Amino acid sequence: MLGVPTIRRIKSQLSGAIAEESPDAIWQRLQDLRDDYYRYVDIGESSTYAAALTLQMPTTSNDGNAIRTLLNNDVEVPVPVLRMFDLVAFAVQSGEMSVDAADDLRSRLLAAKEHVPKAFLNAGFADGLEAFRPRLVDGSSRCSVRVANDVVVLTPR
């Protein structure tokens, strides 16, 4: 659970002006922003976006409606917001997940009537990946993937 003790632990990894703030001040700013967001979206989404913006980190969300609601109300959202399928595509690209496992996940989500990106609605995972533009890619991979405009590229050290 995020709170002042967690902020104290990660503070050394923060950069910019936020690194100069006290953990208590960071936590208060995060809570204030969360309360502002809660006027538009549920507590989970408001907490997620507030933490990402306050800590200047990317975040994940599969709630496109929440993002649109915030944007339509001129509320700042973190960039990028990674979707679940960005993580799945990254796992496949980096070799941590097989295409078959990703396709099984896609099928289960469809069967449960959960959100699946348009690119994967009528295509298996491998074929859908051709049209999907992931926001997270493995920079060390040789595979060519068309990416979104606000992409995060991870490369091993």
Report the C-alpha gap between 88 and 101 in whole angstroms.
Answer: 10
pLDDT, position 157: 45
Q: Do the Cβ atoms of 136 and 90 come closer than 8 Å?
A: yes
Walking along the chain (157 residues) 10 residues at a time, the average pLDDT comes out as: 78 76 91 96 95 90 90 91 91 91 95 92 92 83 53 57
Q: Is the pTM of this model over 0.75?
A: no
